[in-house]
Each structure stands twice: as C-alpha cells, then as structure tokens.
C-alpha cells in the first residue's frame, strides 16, 4: 500500500507539461499524427462525393449534387442486402469460431514446459500471418483443387469418392473461409494473449497452489481474469468491424457460384467502384459502413463496461 | 544538443512524409537547348502515356517506357516518355478506371474500348479531336473516310480508332491438328459440326483419360465455343445482335440447348469442371499440358498460336484456325457470330484534356500514324529484323529463340494500325514455321509445307465466310449511357451466376427460365437502350435495323 502511495505521489509530481522535458517526446508523435491527418482526416472531405454524381474530371466542386439518391439506390438494391447479410454472418461466424481459438492456443502454449518447443510452436503458428493473402489463397486453391489437390486425391484414391469442387459449392465456402482466416491469424493473435499471460503475477499461482487449487481452478480464477482486458479490447475492435471484412481473402477465393454466401460489402463495392466506376455509390456505402461500425464500437464498449466493468475508454 | 537533433530529425521526417504523399507527376514543356553547332534546338516535351498490350506476347524483361521502337517514335515526335503505364492485359479495365478516378490522366491514352473513351470524353476527360484532325495532314489523310464512325453521341471525336485490318476477325478459334491426327483424323474428316467436335472430344478422352478436351476461364471465355455454335454471342451473359435487333442472350431461343450441351460435356468429363475457378495461369497450364482440343482466339492469333506451344516446350503442337460449326437450326443467326470487316477498330488513342503538353501529345499521335512508324511496327529495324533484297523487304529469321529477331514487342505499338493485317499475319506465320522447325530438328520441309497449306486454307476460308456477313456493331458502335453501362456490367455478373449454375446443373432448366425471366425484367431498360441506338449504329456500316 505504501509503495502504491509513493508511486502516486511521484506521478503527481510529474504531472503537467514541462517544455524542456516533454517537448521532444511529443515531437515523436508528430509523424504519426501527420500521417493520420493526411491519410485519414483530409480524405474525409471526399465524403461529399457520396451526395453527388461524382465525375473525377469535374472534381468535387464541379460534380452535380444529388442529395441522398445514392443512399436510396443501395438501400433499395437487393444485392446490397445480400452482401450486408453475408458480411454480418461471416463476421459473426469468425467471432464464434475464430475468436476463442487464439485464447485456447495461448493457454495451451503457456502450459508447455520446454521453452524451446514452445518457441518453435509459436513461431510456426504465427508464420502464416506474414504470408500475403495472395500466396495463402493460392495454397488453399491448390490443396482444394478437384483434380490435383491433396484433399481430393485422398478422397478419390483412399476413400474412392468423387472429387469435390470445394470452392464452387456454396455449402463449403464459408467453412473454408473461416478456417483460412483462423489458420492465418490465430498465431499472431495468440501473441497478444501470451503477452498478457506473462504479465500475470506468478505469486498468484503459487498462492493458489498452496490453497489447493488445481490447473482448472488456476485457469478459471487467475489466468482468464488476467486476460480479461486484452480480450475485451480485441472483442470490441472485432465487433466494431462487424460490417467490414478483409477484402483480399474473399476476393481471391470466391467466384460467381458462391456469391450467394461469399459476396461481401468490400467485394461488392470493389465491383461497383473499380469495374463499374460508380464512385459516389461506393462512397455512400462506405460512409454508411463507417457509421454502423462506429455505433457498434460504441455499443460494445458500453456493454463491456456494464458487464465486465472495464472498457476501452 | 541530442534533443535538438532529435526534434530536427522528427520534423524533417514529418515534412518528408507529407510531401511524399502530395507529389503529383505531370508532363512538362521542354525548354530550349543548343546543339553542337550553336543552333537552338527545342528540348523534347515530357510526355506520360498509358497503353495496353492488346494481348501481345511481350518478353519478361521488356521495358515499356524505354525501348528501341518507342524511343524512335518519341524521338521523331520530339517528346520524352517520362512515364508509361502498361497494365497486364487481364487488368486493363481496373487500371484504366483507377487512373481516371485519380483525375491524373496520362497525356496520351491508348485503350481497347471506344465506348469507354467516348463516355469519359463527354464528361470532359479527353480532348475533342475534330480540329486536330482538320489541322493535321497525316491524321486527316488516314481518317477522312471514317469521320462519322469516329464521332461520339455528342458529335465530337474523342478517340482515334485503329484503321481497318484485312485479316482481323475477333470471333475465331484454333484446333489442335496434331491431336486430331493422333486420334486418326485426316484432312477430309476434320470435324465440321458441333456433334462431330464433341465426338472428337470423346475419342480424345477415351484415348487419354487425363486429357481435358475443352476448358474455359473464371468468367467464361469471351467467345465461348458452344454458345457460339448456337449463335449466342460471347459468354451467354450479355446483349447481342439477333436478326437485326438487340436481345440479351437469355432471350435467345437456343440458350437452353446450349446449356444442356455444356452440362452434357461436364457430365462426360469433356469439359474442365474447374473452369469457374481457373485463373489465367491454370487455364494456360491446361492448354499446354492437357491436350485441350479447342481454344478461342482471334483469327490472326489462331493462325500463329503454334509458336506459343513451341516456347512452352510442346514441339508436336500444330494449331489451325477453325470455322464455327453452327448447329443446323433456322433460329441461329450466323451474323451474330461471324463479323464483316470493321471500318475502324476497337483499339483507340485519346489525348487528355488536362494535358499540359497537348501539342506534344498531338505530335506523338501524328507520329504513331506516320509511314516510318508503320515500317517500324510491321518490319522492325533494317539489318536487325529485315533486310532489303532486290528492293523488297525480307524478314530475318533467327535461331528460334522466340523473338525471331524482330525488335522485341514491336507489335505493341500497332495502336492505330491494326495488328492483324494480312501482311503481319503472313510474317508472323513465317516466324511460327521457323519456331516449329527449330523445335523439331527432324521435321522435313514437306511436312512444314503441308502444315502451312492446311493453315492457310482454313485461314482463307474463315476470312471469306466472315467477310460475307455484315459488320457487327453492338459492342463496336454503340455507347450506352454512363449509368446503363455500369448496370450492364452488374447485369453481366448476375447473368454469369445464372448461366454457370445452369451449365453445371446446380439449377434445373425450369429454374433457369424463372431466373432468366426475372433478370430480363430487371434489365429491360438496357435492351431498350440498345434497340433505340441500334438503327444509328447500323447506318454507320450501311445496315438496316431489323434485317
């Protein structure tokens, strides 16, 4: 208690801006802030084109204002609601199946005694994170190929089954997408949890052992509460992007036969924007997406505060 | 001191970042310079160009911005090419749209698709070339007969289109003559009908179970073999001409017959079931290694495609242009597949209205139309690619390294002179024979002559049949309104889903009817706009609406 008070006193003494002490530190923020400003705030003016029939050569000032016409258009478009549904469903599936995976993996890894083996497993598991989706999708396409993919070779030669064209059957597409996402991301996400695990005071485990707590009890009462904050942070961020989904993974794996279950907002806006040159429409969709994401982040944060007593802000 | 340095470095880094994000490259007017004799020489204007390869085979290490032919043309026009954006052929729409959306348009734009250029021209992206044509002797001379065909809907000319070609037919295919011979076919028994081709595919599959007699790519081929045999244009997913009017493929009375044929081919293993997920590389791998019997190409490419097999180490391959085997049904309109010679082509050149070096851009375009350029892109460099014997040019053929000594990728610059002229095809075919000879050291001249004879026989036949039909105008001389064009792209995507599902049997033909009817109702306005604009387009090529 005395130590805590000392720290608080020290912090109070340090409070307040001292130019000679703090300016260089704040200056380090400058490049980051500038980047944020140039690439995230200045483009906000471009939001105006969502309310225009934007023609690039006429510019924002020269293009015709059309009010909410673009919003009306996509809200009435059946395709939009299909991609919205797909985006939400795929993201929810990712949260249900993908979110707990790195936590479980980190917990298991944390229990390993051999640090060499632990590091090896950890390295192998987060390597896919550094592979681009172009390569990863190529790997999945090869593995799943009906003619030469290892899975179909096994089905055909060992089980005597007919080859399955996994990527063109709607029923298989989402599981493949989720598995690909988990495979690529769980190792890296587990690093966050491992970092949080390493910050849990070892004395707590020793005390629990003395009190007779077994592994399950220790996990339930010490480890999981220790992971609460990072779990909430990651969950809030993931829920906050519920109507956003990584473009490359789907774009590289999907095809017209699985549009019904695999076409999402990002791929739809890509087709509208880049193939059909409808920039105003895609901006309107992007703006709506951002507003919904903001509401979701805010609500989840409030919910986390109400339920877990801790939130991002 | 350390703090001050840290602050300074941070500040410089920040400024550099902001500036690096804001740099815009632009062409600039050249100044003047003095040559060795003291005369004042105008320094070349700096020019930015965007151009497309038109599917030409280009060596991997080729420099699109700095190469022999382009440098010669640039020098003659007194320009310096400071940037050349050349997207991969499969990606031209995306890259073009990205350039346009940035508003930072290259000074000279070469593209495939006059409709796109005309629409963007109407919105202010490109210069009206009417006065440029009137004031330029060379452009006027080349285009005076085609001014009407160059005009956009607003009466202005935004794009110069490629001059007519005497060997150019888009809708064609080649077949593997060596594979047919291996199956016991002779010249007299080369398949003539769709049924006969399917029978040949069956024989191929029987003899080589691993073979893939027919394949396509992820969004279906631009001129699908089976659809074309039923008189259905392209991928079976778009609008087409049909007995003088515009219809969508779904309205074609034989669409379900074509879909049933595809399904039968898939069921029997004659067609590659992976076509819908095949990317270009997968498609090529199958084409080279799986004895694919039929491949769609334009006539010029079909004639010389064997050279591609040679460079992919398949020395036995012999490709021959094919004649579309229409099903015997009065509901097939051959004019929707065969096409007469176009007055002007689809390869176009435009000048950005925002260009700061318009005069230089015009000079460059004039140079692209000059006699000298025509020689460079047809023959290459004298002494390297050709020699003059008794006053006549003769191409120099090399050891079969693939370049045939022609200055690398010279055909890239056939922007306004069509690629597939008879002369170009003749020269490329000679190079193909040379490549075959080098890949097959034991081949006799008699064998080469025989292959040459049969290839030219089919080439001439295909050209003759096509030229006996009127010009196809739908995607050549009709520009849809901006919004309709965008919706047509969206519609093609939707149609593709319906078509592929029906081809594979994922939906029944009855279900296809229902989905097709909904589709046609939803996109009725596109059919109407096409029909509304068709009479004027027909007028440009001397045809009559409804006939």
Burial-class residue B412 by CB neighbours within 10 Å (0-12, 13-18, 19+). Answer: buried
pLDDT in tens, B9-54: 666 766 665 555 554 444 455 555 555 555 566 789 999 999 999 8
Say which of B354, B489, B501 has its CB closest to residue A275.
B489
Q: Looking at the structure, tell me whether residues A31 and A144 fall in a common domain.
A: no
The SS3 call for residue B382 is strand
Task: Evaluate whether residue B500 is within a structural domain.
Answer: yes
> DSSP letters along B418-449, please?
-S--HHHHHHHHHHHHHHHHHH-TT--HHHHH
Task: Evaluate whether residue B362 is within a structural domain.
Answer: yes
Q: How many CA atoms lie within 13 A of B26 on its CB side?
A: 13
Q: Looking at the structure, tell me whether residues B184 and B325 fall in a common domain.
A: yes
> DSSP letters along B36-80, please?
TTS-EEEPPEEEEEE---TT----TT--SSS-HHHHHHHHHTTEE
* CA atoms of A187 and A185, how far apart (whole Å): 6
Q: Looking at the structure, tell me whether residues A116 and A230 fall in a common domain.
A: yes
CATH, residue B482: 3.40.190.10
Verify whether the Cβ–Cβ distance A165 to B125 is below 8 Å: no
Q: Looking at the structure, tell me whether residues A60 and A75 fall in a common domain.
A: no
Does A145 reach chain B within 8 Å, measured CB to CB?
Answer: yes
Q: Looking at the structure, tell me whether residues A60 and A124 fall in a common domain.
A: no
Say which of B105, B490, B501 has its CB closest to residue A257.
B501
**Res. B518 pLDDT band, cuts 50 70 90:** very high
Q: Looking at the structure, tell me whether residues A121 and A36 fall in a common domain.
A: no
What pLDDT, on the 0 to 100 scale, is given for residue B30? Answer: 54
β partners of residue B160: B349
pLDDT in tens, B208-240: 999 999 998 766 777 789 999 999 987 899 999
In order of A123, A236, A247, A307, the CA distances from A99 in angstroms are: 20, 12, 19, 18
Residue A76: list chain B partners with CB under 8 A. none
Residue B105: list chain A partners with CB under 8 A. 57
* CA atoms of B105 and A57, how far apart (whole Å): 9
pLDDT in tens, B299-340: 888 999 999 999 899 999 999 999 989 999 999 999 888 888
CA distance B382 to chain A (A): 43
pLDDT in tens, A140-154: 988 998 878 899 999
Verify whether the Cβ–Cβ distance B10 to A28 is below 8 Å: yes
Q: Looking at the structure, tell me whether residues A150 and A37 fall in a common domain.
A: no
Verify whether the Cβ–Cβ distance B497 to A257 is below 8 Å: yes
With beta carbons less than 8 A apart as the criterion, state whether A259 and A168 touch: no
Q: Looking at the structure, tell me whether residues A163 and A239 fall in a common domain.
A: yes
Q: Looking at the structure, tell me whether residues B53 and B99 fall in a common domain.
A: yes
Q: Looking at the structure, tell me whether residues B309 and B354 fall in a common domain.
A: no
Q: Looking at the structure, tell me whether residues A52 and A79 fall in a common domain.
A: no
DSSP E strand boundaries for B322-391: 347-351, 386-389
Q: Looking at the structure, tell me whether residues A238 and A254 fall in a common domain.
A: yes
What pLDDT, on the 0 to 100 scale, is given for residue B482? Answer: 79
Residue A22: list chain B partners with CB under 8 A. none
Say which of B17, B18, B493 has its CB closest to residue A256.
B493
Task: Evaluate whether residue B291 is within a structural domain.
Answer: yes
Residue B103: list chain A partners with CB under 8 A. 56-57, 59
Strand order in the sheet with B160-161: B79-85, B45-50, B108-112, B347-351, B160-161
Percent of chain B with pLDDT over 70: 90
Q: Looking at the structure, tell me whether residues B205 and B145 fall in a common domain.
A: no
Task: Evaluate whether residue B351 is within a structural domain.
Answer: yes
pLDDT in tens, A258-308: 888 999 999 998 888 888 888 899 999 989 988 888 888 888 888 888 877
Task: Evaluate whether residue B62 is within a structural domain.
Answer: yes
What pLDDT, on the 0 to 100 scale, is given for residue B24? Answer: 47
Residue A272: list chain B partners with CB under 8 A. 486, 490
Residue B218: list chain A partners with CB under 8 A. 255
With beta carbons less than 8 A apart as the criterion, state whether B111 and B52 touch: yes
Q: Looking at the structure, tell me whether residues B147 and B256 fall in a common domain.
A: no
With beta carbons less than 8 A apart as the criterion, state whether B280 and B267 touch: no
Task: Evaluate whether residue B307 is within a structural domain.
Answer: yes
Residue A94: other Cβ atoms inside 10 A: 21
Residue B490: list chain A partners with CB under 8 A. 79, 271-272, 276
Q: Looking at the structure, tell me whether residues B298 and B244 fall in a common domain.
A: yes
Q: Looking at the structure, tell me whether residues B187 and B323 fall in a common domain.
A: yes
Mutation target to probe the A interface, by most A beta carbons within 10 A, among B120, B271, B277 is B277
Say which of B93, B273, B504 has its CB closest to residue A146.
B273
Q: Looking at the structure, tell me whether residues B271 and B231 fall in a common domain.
A: yes
Q: What is the ipTM of this complex?
A: 0.74
Verify whether the Cβ–Cβ distance B486 to A276 is below 8 Å: yes
Residue A271: list chain B partners with CB under 8 A. 489-490, 493
Task: Evaluate whether residue B486 is within a structural domain.
Answer: yes
Query: Of B356, B379, B402, which residue constitutes the final position of a domain?
Result: B379
Q: Looking at the structure, tell me whether residues B348 and B333 fall in a common domain.
A: no
Provide the domain count of chain B. Answer: 2
Give me the domain span that covers residue A51: 17-67
Give the mean pLDDT of chain A. 87
Residue A39: list chain B partners with CB under 8 A. 21
Average pLDDT over residues B159-181: 89
Q: Looking at the structure, tell me whether residues B215 and B326 fall in a common domain.
A: yes
Residue B277: list chain A partners with CB under 8 A. 141, 165, 167-168, 255
**Res. B111 pLDDT band, cuts 50 70 90:** very high
Average pLDDT over residues B487-504: 90
Of the candidates B305, B307, B312, the residue with the CA atom closest to the CA atom of residue B290:
B312
Task: Evaluate whether residue A198 is within a structural domain.
Answer: yes
Verify whether the Cβ–Cβ distance A31 to B13 is below 8 Å: yes
Sort residue A160 into left (φ over 0), alpha (ψ -120 to 50) or beta: left
Say which of B10, B93, B277 has its CB closest to residue A30.
B10
CATH, residue A204: 1.10.3720.10
With beta carbons less than 8 A apart as the criterion, state whether B97 and A274 touch: yes
Judged by CB atoms within 8 Å, which residues 56-75 of A form the interface with B? Answer: 56-59
With beta carbons less than 8 A apart as the criterion, state whether B241 and B185 touch: no
Lowest mean pLDDT among A237-241, A251-255, B38-42, B288-292: B38-42
Task: Evaluate whether residue B81 is within a structural domain.
Answer: yes
Q: Looking at the structure, tell me whether residues A184 and A46 fall in a common domain.
A: no
Provide the domain count of chain A. Answer: 2
CB contact set of B59 (below 8 Å; sequence gap of 6+): B402, B403, B408, B409
Say which of B17, B103, B493 has its CB closest to residue A35.
B17
Say which of A38, A147, A257 has its CB closest to residue B500.
A257
Rg (CA), chain B: 26
Task: Evaluate whether residue A313 is within a structural domain.
Answer: no
DSSP E strand boundaries for chain A: 52-53, 64-65
**Res. A180 pLDDT band, cuts 50 70 90:** very high
Give the mean pLDDT of chain B. 88
Q: Looking at the structure, tell me whether residues B197 and B284 fall in a common domain.
A: yes
Give me the domain span that covers residue B478: 172-340+468-540
Q: Looking at the structure, tell me whether residues A48 and A131 fall in a common domain.
A: no
Please state the φ and ψ torsions of residue B195, each to the nearest 5 degrees: -60, -40
pLDDT in tens, B134-163: 999 999 999 998 899 999 989 999 999 999
Task: Evaluate whether residue A7 is within a structural domain.
Answer: no
pLDDT in tens, B385-399: 888 988 888 888 876
pLDDT greater than 60 at residue B383: yes
Q: Looking at the structure, tell me whether residues A208 and A286 fall in a common domain.
A: yes
Say which of A30, A147, A271 has its CB closest to residue B274.
A147
Query: Of B327, B354, B379, which residue constitutes the final position of a domain?
Result: B379
* CA atoms of B398 and B427, how far apart (whole Å): 13
CB contact set of B146 (below 8 Å; sequence gap of 6+): B161, B163, B343, B344
Binding-site residues on chain B for chain A (CB distance < 8 A): 3, 6-7, 10-11, 13-14, 17-18, 21, 93-94, 97-98, 100-103, 105, 120, 123-125, 218-219, 273-274, 276-277, 353-354, 485-487, 489-490, 493, 496-497, 500-501, 504, 506
Q: Looking at the structure, tell me whether residues B266 and B292 fall in a common domain.
A: yes
Residue bearing the bigger pLDDT, B205 or B41 = B205
With beta carbons less than 8 A apart as the criterion, state whether A93 and A298 touch: no
Task: Evaluate whether residue A94 is within a structural domain.
Answer: yes
Burial-class residue B220 by CB neighbours within 10 Å (0-12, 13-18, 19+). Answer: buried
**Res. A90 pLDDT band, cuts 50 70 90:** very high
With beta carbons less than 8 A apart as the criterion, state whether B357 and B42 touch: no
pLDDT in tens, B422-435: 888 998 899 899 98
β partners of residue B248: B239
DSSP 8-state code for residue A93: H
Burial-class residue B330 by CB neighbours within 10 Å (0-12, 13-18, 19+). Answer: exposed
């Amino acid at each position: 208690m005395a130590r805590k008070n000392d720290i608080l006193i020290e912090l109070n003494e340090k409070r307040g801006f001292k130019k000679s002490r703090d300016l260089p530190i704040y200056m380090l923020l400058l490049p980051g802030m500038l980047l944020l400003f140039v690439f995230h705030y200045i483009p906000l003016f471009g939001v105006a084109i969502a309310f225009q029939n934007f023609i690039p050569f006429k510019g924002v000032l020269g293009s015709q204002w059309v009010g909410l016409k673009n919003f009306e258009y996509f809200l009435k478009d059946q395709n939009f609601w299909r991609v919205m549904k797909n985006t939400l469903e795929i993201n929810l599936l990712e949260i249900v199946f993908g979110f707990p995976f790195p936590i479980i993996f980190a917990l298991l890894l944390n229990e390993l005694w051999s640090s060499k083996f632990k590091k090896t497993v950890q390295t192998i598991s987060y390597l896919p994170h550094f592979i681009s989706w172009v390569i990863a999708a190529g790997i999945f396409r090869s593995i799943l190929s009906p003619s030469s993919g290892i899975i179909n070779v096994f089905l055909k030669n060992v089980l005597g089954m007919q080859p399955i064209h996994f990527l063109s059957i709607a029923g298989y597409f989402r599981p493949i997408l989720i598995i690909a996402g988990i495979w690529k991301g769980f190792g890296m996400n587990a690093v966050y949890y491992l970092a949080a695990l390493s910050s849990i005071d070892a004395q707590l485990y020793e005390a629990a052992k003395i009190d007779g707590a077994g592994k399950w009890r220790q996990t339930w009462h010490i480890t999981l509460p220790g992971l609460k904050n990072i779990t909430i942070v990651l969950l809030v961020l993931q829920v906050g992007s519920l109507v956003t989904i990584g473009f490359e993974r789907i774009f590289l794996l999907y095809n017209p036969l699985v549009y019904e279950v695999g076409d999402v907002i990002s791929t739809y806006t890509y087709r509208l924007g880049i193939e059909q040159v409808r920039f105003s429409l895609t901006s309107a969709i992007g703006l709506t997406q951002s507003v919904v994401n903001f509401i979701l982040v805010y609500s989840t944060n409030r919910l986390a505060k109400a339920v877990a007593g801790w939130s991002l802000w | 001191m350390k703090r001050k340095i840290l602050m300074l470095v941070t500040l410089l880094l920040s400024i550099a970042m902001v500036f690096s994000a804001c740099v815009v490259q632009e062409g600039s007017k050249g100044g003047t310079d003095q040559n060795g004799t003291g005369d004042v020489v105008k320094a070349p204007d700096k020019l930015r160009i965007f151009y497309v390869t038109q599917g030409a085979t280009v060596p991997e290490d080729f420099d699109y911005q700095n190469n022999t032919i382009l440098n010669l043309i640039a020098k003659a026009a007194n320009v310096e090419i400071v940037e050349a954006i050349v997207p991969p052929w499969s990606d031209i729409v995306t890259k073009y749209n990205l350039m346009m959306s940035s508003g930072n348009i290259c000074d000279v734009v070469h593209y495939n698709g006059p409709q796109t250029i005309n629409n963007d021209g109407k919105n202010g992206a490109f210069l009206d070339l009417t006065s440029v044509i009137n004031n330029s002797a060379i452009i006027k001379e080349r285009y005076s007969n085609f001014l009407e065909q160059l005009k956009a809907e607003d009466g202005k000319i935004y794009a110069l289109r490629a001059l007519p070609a005497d060997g150019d037919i888009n809708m064609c295919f080649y077949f593997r003559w060596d594979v047919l011979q291996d199956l016991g076919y002779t010249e007299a028994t080369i398949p003539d009908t769709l049924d006969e081709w399917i029978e040949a595919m069956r024989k191929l599959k029987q003899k080589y179970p691993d073979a893939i007699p027919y394949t396509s790519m992820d969004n279906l081929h631009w001129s699908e073999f089976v659809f074309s045999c039923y008189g259905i244009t392209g991928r079976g997913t778009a609008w087409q001409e049909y007995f003088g009017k515009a219809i969508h493929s779904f309205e074609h009375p034989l669409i379900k017959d074509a879909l049933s044929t595809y399904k039968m081919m898939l069921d029997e293993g004659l067609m590659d079931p992976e076509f819908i997920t095949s990317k270009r590389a997968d498609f090529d791998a199958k084409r080279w290694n799986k004895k694919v019997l039929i491949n769609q190409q334009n006539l010029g490419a079909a004639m010389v495609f064997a050279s591609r097999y040679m460079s992919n180490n398949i020395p036995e391959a012999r490709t021959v242009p094919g004649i579309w085997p229409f099903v015997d049904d009065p509901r097939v309109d051959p004019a929707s597949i065969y096409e007469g010679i176009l007055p002007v082509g689809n390869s176009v050149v435009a000048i950005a209205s925002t260009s700061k070096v318009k005069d230089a851009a015009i000079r460059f375009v004039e140079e692209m139309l000059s006699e000298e350029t025509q020689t460079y892109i047809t023959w290459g460099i004298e002494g390297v690619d050709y020699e003059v014997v008794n006053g006549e040019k003769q191409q120099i053929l090399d050891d079969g390294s693939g370049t045939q000594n022609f200055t690398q990728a010279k055909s890239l610059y056939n922007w306004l002179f069509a690629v597939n002229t008879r002369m170009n095809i003749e020269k490329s075919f000679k190079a193909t024979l040379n490549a075959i000879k080098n890949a097959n050291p034991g081949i006799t001249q008699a064998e080469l002559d025989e292959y040459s004879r049969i290839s030219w026989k089919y080439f001439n036949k295909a050209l003759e049949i096509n030229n006996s039909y009127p010009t196809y105008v739908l995607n050549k001389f009709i520009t849809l309104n901006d919004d309709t064009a965008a919706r047509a792209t969206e519609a093609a995507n939707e149609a593709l889903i319906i078509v592929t599902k029906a081809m594979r049997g994922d939906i029944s033909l009855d279900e296809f009817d229902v989905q097709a009817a909904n589709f046609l109702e939803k996109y009725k306005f596109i059919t109407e706009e096409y029909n509304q604009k068709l009479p004027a387009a027909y007028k440009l090529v001397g045809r009559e609406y409804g006939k």
